[in-house]
Amino acid sequence: DGGITQSPKYLFRKEGQNVTLSCEQNLNHDAMYWYRQDPGQGLRLIYYSQIVNDFQKGDIAEGYSVSREKKESFPLTVTSAQKNPTAFYLCASSMVAGGNQPQHFGDGTRLSIL
């Protein structure tokens, strides 16, 4: 079955540590996205990539980094510069950026501070 796989489901970060969240899709989608969701809030865009080897900052990119070396993969690194990383992180993809194509989401990664 085609879909988006995020791992791990739960992740704990120590002070000063970088952690990487994995996102893999087998939908052959060009565009991929990372969102952050805080309790009782909607989704906020961290980074997005419209095509391989290219990505842009979203609304809350500070303290995060990404790479897009393969079409299927869009990992997100939460760096030590992100002072409040505890949140639910969702990865999404769409056939192309924009248009009327919906974004398809993974099951999310819940990140907590130790």
Q: How far is the CB of 88 from other proteins (least distance, A)?
A: 6
Output 16 or 40, the one with its CB closest to other proteins. Answer: 40
CB 33 within 8 A of CB 45: yes
**Which of 53, 56 has the CB closer to other proteins?**
56
CB 90 within 8 A of CB 105: yes
Strand 64-66 and strand 87-94: the pairing is unpaired
Binding residues (CB under 8 A) for other proteins: these are 33, 40-45, 48, 56, 58, 88, 90, 92, 97-100, 102-108, 110
Contact (Cβ atoms closer than 8 angstroms) between residue 5 and residue 25? yes
Between residues 17 and 41, which has the closer beta carbon with respect to other proteins?
41
